[in-house]
């Protein structure tokens, strides 16, 4: 399970993975653009993030980023 981005007083660039068997979270490389309300899709071992806003509110980013999930090993 992977969690990316989010919003509180500001938007977040963090990405984290949860190991269900171990019951632990680990940090992934952060996104270059902090985002909330983003879209996420996984293809193979790559997680793609798109849209979402770098600022609280309705601002939408026009970039796409990817996170390599291969180092996490098989699900």
Q: How far apart (Å, rounded) are the C-alpha atoms in residues 38 and 60?
A: 9
Q: By the 8 A CB rule, do 28 and 66 touch?
A: no
Q: How far apart (Å, rounded) are the C-alpha atoms in residues 10 and 14?
A: 12
Average pLDDT, the chain: 91
| pTM for the whole structure | 0.83
Q: Which residues contact 57 (CB under 8 A, 6 or more apart)?
A: none
* Run of H or E including 18: strand 15-19
Mean pLDDT for the stretch of residues 10-25: 93
Q: Between 46 and 56, where is the model more confident? A: 46
- pLDDT tier for residue 57 given thresholds of 50, 70 and 90: confident
């Amino acid at each position: 399970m992977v969690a990316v981005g989010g919003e509180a007083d500001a938007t977040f660039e963090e990405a984290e993975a949860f190991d269900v068997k171990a019951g632990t979270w680990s940090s992934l490389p952060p996104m270059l653009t902090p985002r909330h309300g983003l879209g996420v899709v996984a293809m193979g071992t790559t997680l793609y993030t798109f849209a979402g806003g770098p600022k609280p509110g309705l601002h939408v980013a026009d970039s796409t980023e990817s996170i390599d999930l291969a180092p996490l090993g098989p699900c």
